[in-house]
Chains A and B, each alone.
Chain A
Amino acid sequence: MNARTITSRFALTSGLLLGMMTQLPTTAQETDRWTPDRTAWGDPNLQGVYTFSTLTPLERPEALGNKATYTAEELAEAELQSIIPATAAETPTAEGSNDDNLRGNEYNAFWASNEKGRLAERTSLIVDPPNGRLPPLTERGQQIYDERVAELATRQVGEEPNIYTLYDTWEDHPVYTRCVARSMPRVQQGYNHGLQVLQTPGYVVIYYESQHDTRVIPLDGRPHIDSSIRQWNGDARGHWEGDTLVVDWQNFTDKQFFMSIPPAIGLRNISLPQGNIRLVERLTKVDENTIDYEVTVHDPTTWTQPWTLIVPWRADDPSYQSPVDLYEFGCHEGNYRMMENSLRGSRVLRETYTEAE
């Protein structure tokens, strides 16, 4: 039996199993759920243009303990509070904005708030562990984290609050800044939160505005690629469980850092290698305009337990109403000056601080 035969038999068996699974009776909770319409070939229809922007933090503030959701009143208040810091100092007026308020804070919440997604009803994106916070790192995870922090310190000059991180070589920039690849899963970014879901018989396609990444996810039960093959965007396999699309996602590479993305809206800059991570995504349409995007992160070499987050994908944001709202990403063309500027600027800073010593 050659590999191809094995693959097709596996696919056939898995397909049958999956077919049976979709016939299983749904739980009471599921029957209460909003039911999505169907594609012409009978799959739940998740298609559309969405944004995953939200100001809800990844981790729940400790003061909120196990309070998992806001009441409607609390949500309105929290929404207001989340806007104030961005608008008080930085809303442009006829007289212009205040230099003093902006100085040193040029890239601040305003830019994010321009694409500000509403808060979710949940108080944090993390829903498990129940305290809404990342589980403790393993010994190895902590060691890598400490090494990263120590490495960073060797490239910093100045004193609080004016500490500058220097880029002595292009390799000091993260791979995303270098336009190589952006860490998956996409959870919180500064901007360009748009994405489009497309479906065909046997495939779900997710196109992300940022970095113009397209994930083509087969649904036919074929096995993952060999574990020796490592890819920037991993290797994903999907199937339906009732109306939920479940995707198993692995084969990532250590060259990428997991969720090493801007922390300005509450994310920690975790910067841990992604190679050992396995993700399980669950996409469920919960109302006409919302997909609950749930991701469980498995990596026993990094965290002491798996953890799960849910981000709402919303179809009702006026900025993202159709595919033409997803503008082309020309990363290199837009970035080459950044590279030159940051290398030159770092040299100026290093010289300045060396002379000062």
Chain B
Amino acid sequence: MRKELKLLCASAGGLLLGTTIAQAHHAFAAEFDAARPVELRGIVTRMEWINPHSWITIDITTDEGAVETWEIEAGAPNAMFRRGFTRDSLPVGTEVVVRGYQARDGSQRANGRDVTLPDGERLFLGASRPGDAAD
């Protein structure tokens, strides 16, 4: 049976790696650039808990002293709550470090991967999932 299950998994993997999933990935690929990871330390100015995607707006101060506003795409609120966020996790004024991937056109938007809170806790942001041309 073990072999059969491996076959099953291989087969499922085949489905995952097939053209359908490639097509599905492109919602991310058209929007964000996996080759442009960003790490942003900033202050939360707005938190939108909205299905299907939440958005966190932060102000960061560059090395030159300029303030830039970045918008970070995050997951669905209920998905985030399951990962450990609470409604009080990201009040305005919180200093956070966000890691993610920048928008392909170079604008100050990113797909969030994780956020580190002031107490050092790091939580996954999970903006969406493959397939989600439709999600």
A interface residue numbers (CB < 8 A to B): 57, 61-64, 73-74, 77-78, 81-82, 85, 92, 94, 96-97, 99, 102-112, 114-115, 123, 152, 160-161, 163-167, 173-174, 176-177, 189-192, 194, 209-210, 260-264, 266-269, 319, 325, 327-331, 333-335, 337-338, 341-342, 344-349
Check if B114 sits within 8 Å of A92, measured CB to CB: yes
Check if B77 sits within 8 Å of A327, measured CB to CB: yes
- Distance between Cα atoms of A163 and B76 in the complex (Å): 27
- Find chain B residues with CB under 8 A from A264 CB: 16, 21, 24, 129-131
Given contacts A263-B131, A348-B104, contact A114 B27 (CB under 8 A): no
The segment from B30-38, B58-66, B88-96 that touches chain A is B30-38
- Distance between Cα atoms of A112 and B33 in the complex (Å): 21
Check if A152 sits within 8 Å of B2, measured CB to CB: no
Check if B26 sits within 8 Å of A78, measured CB to CB: no
- Distance between Cα atoms of A107 and B24 in the complex (Å): 10
- Distance between Cα atoms of A174 and B79 in the complex (Å): 23
Check if B22 sits within 8 Å of A163, measured CB to CB: yes
Check if B22 sits within 8 Å of A161, measured CB to CB: yes
With a 10 A CB-CB cut-off, give which of A110, A189, A338 has the most chain B CB atoms: A338
Check if A107 sits within 8 Å of B12, measured CB to CB: no
Q: Tell me the count of chain B residues lying within 8 A, CB to CB, of chain A.
A: 71
Closest to A212 in B: B51
Determine which of B26, B52, B106, B133 lies in contact with A191 in the assembled complex, contact meaning CB atoms within 8 Å: B52
A75 to chain B, nearest CB (A): 10
Closest to A266 in B: B15
Q: Indicate with 1 or 0, residue by residue over B105-133, a CB within 8 angstroms of chain A CB atoms.
A: 11101010110000000111011111111
- Distance between Cα atoms of A96 and B11 in the complex (Å): 30
The 5 closest A-B pairs by CB, nearest first: A262-B131, A111-B129, A345-B104, A61-B11, A165-B26
- Find chain A residues with CB under 8 A from B104 CB: 341, 344-345, 348-349
- Find chain A residues with CB under 8 A from B83 CB: 114
- Find chain A residues with CB under 8 A from B26 CB: 163-165
- Find chain A residues with CB under 8 A from B8 CB: 61, 63-64, 78, 81, 123
Which parts of B31-81 form the interface with A (CB within 8 Å)? Answer: 31-35, 37, 48-55, 71, 73, 75-79
Determine which of A78, A194, A333 lies in contact with B48 in the assembled complex, contact meaning CB atoms within 8 Å: A333
- Distance between Cα atoms of A94 and B120 in the complex (Å): 10
Check if A74 sits within 8 Å of B5, measured CB to CB: yes
User: Contacts A174-B134, A264-B16 given; 8 further ones with Cβ under 8 A?
Assistant: A192-B51, A210-B51, A262-B131, A327-B49, A333-B48, A335-B52, A345-B30, A348-B105
- Find chain A residues with CB under 8 A from B75 CB: 111, 114, 191
Check if A61 sits within 8 Å of B79, measured CB to CB: no
Determine which of B5, B32, B37, B133 lies in contact with A165 in the assembled complex, contact meaning CB atoms within 8 Å: B133
Check if A74 sits within 8 Å of B1, measured CB to CB: yes
Check if B78 sits within 8 Å of A327, measured CB to CB: yes
Check if B34 sits within 8 Å of A106, measured CB to CB: yes
Given contacts A107-B129, A264-B16, A341-B31, contact A189 B23 (CB under 8 A): no
Check if B15 sits within 8 Å of A57, measured CB to CB: yes
Check if B53 sits within 8 Å of A338, measured CB to CB: yes
A-B contacts, 25 of them at CB < 8 A, read A57-B12, A61-B7, A61-B8, A62-B11, A63-B11, A82-B9, A92-B114, A92-B123, A97-B114, A107-B127, A163-B26, A165-B23, A167-B30, A191-B79, A263-B21, A263-B131, A325-B78, A327-B49, A330-B50, A334-B51, A337-B71, A341-B30, A341-B31, A342-B30, A348-B105
